Amino acid sequence: MSADELVRVEDRGAVRRIVLNRPGARNAQSIALLRALHAAVDDTAASPDVRVVVLEGAGPSFSSGHDLKEIVVNDEYRRNAETVEGRLWQELDRFVAPVEALRALRVPTICRVQGHCVAAALMLVAACDLVVAAEDATFASRVTETMGAADVELPSLAWELGTRRAKQVLWAGESLSAAQALELGLVNWVVPLEELDARVDAVAEQLLAVPREALALSKLSFHFLEDRRGYAAAADYHFLAHQLSHHTTDATALLAKRVADLEARLASGR
């Protein structure tokens, strides 16, 4: 797919919908998709007519997280992952930067979530201001268990849920239903799947009725509050801890096994 096909941008009046568009791969975030997403967010930041952004995923799932096949199908990605500095800058530039750009948008952002919302997808959810989930949405991350890494690149679950619940999800491998996510404050609304678009549209209309600059200044105030509570420092520390975790004995062994399994599957055509 071209970059335009991997991430669709649809303007409906003053509402911009940014759509992750790899439905056949449950919107797994390849490097190409993340580049396209970052470009779409940067274009949005420079578009004065956009008043509200909706981030969504095409097909049955919002996103299954980072595309783990990249390490066997993308030579540049694989070379970068082989050195400490290569992995660090690759993950900072490709995994963290698009999320932080999304969080920094001055206009309000709504995340529309259905089906699987896994691992790195949680960073996108946490970067948005409001979240509308379908009843079939599930939230999970098994990165620590299956990859030996300290969560994903940003400590989104710990920040949104608190440490006790985050440990339950990350360490015990438990997933959260949409109802549980609502109870814990990870999402704002849960509706039947067939009502998801209508609720997202209704929330967008509510935001359009609020003066633009008031929302922008309120968002700056919320970011100031989060940073004073330690968001920026926690994110910086966690990213470096995450990088170190990639190079432990357990993590390197799990990566070698995953690469071998993926290469075998690709060779057999599965």
Q: Which pLDDT belongs to residue 1?
A: 65
Residue 112 Cα distances to 20, 63, 128, 270, angstroms: 11, 11, 10, 31
45/149 Cα distance (integer angstroms):
32
Instruction: Flag whether pLDDT at 270 surpasses 90.
Output: no
195 confidence band (pLDDT: 50, 70, 90): very high
Q: Which pLDDT belongs to residue 131?
A: 99
Return the CATH number of 3-268, one of 3.40.50.10420, 3.20.20.140, 3.90.226.10, 3.30.2130.10. 3.90.226.10
How is residue 185 annotated by DSSP? Answer: T
Instruction: Flag whether pLDDT at 2 surpasses 70.
Output: no
Instruction: Flag whether pLDDT at 110 surpasses 90.
Output: yes
Q: Which pLDDT belongs to residue 3?
A: 64
Instruction: Flag whether pLDDT at 164 surpasses 70.
Output: yes
Q: Which sequence spans correspond to the domains of the chain?
A: 3-268
Q: Which pLDDT belongs to residue 125?
A: 98
Query: What b/e string do you get for 91-121 counting C-beta neighbours within 10 Å, with b at 16 or more?
Result: beebbbbbbbbbbebebbbbbbbbbbbbbbb
Instruction: Enumerate residues 6+ apart whose C-beta is below 8 A from 75.
Output: none
- Amino acid, single-letter form, for residue 229: R
Q: Under a CB-based contact definition with an 8 Å cutoff, are residues 132 and 204 in contact?
A: no
Instruction: Flag whether pLDDT at 162 surpasses 80.
Output: yes
- Amino acid, single-letter form, for residue 78: R
DSSP assignment of 111-149 equals EEE-SEEETTHHHHHHHSSEEEEETT-EEE--HHHHH--
* Cα torsion through 33, 35, 41, 44, rounded to 10: -100
Q: Under a CB-based contact definition with an 8 Å cutoff, are residues 135 and 191 in contact?
A: yes
| Per-residue pLDDT tens over the stretch 18-53 | 999 999 999 999 999 999 999 999 999 999 999 999
Which helix or strand (DSSP H or E) is residue 55 part of? Answer: strand 52-57
- Amino acid, single-letter form, for residue 79: R
Q: Which pLDDT belongs to residue 268?
A: 87
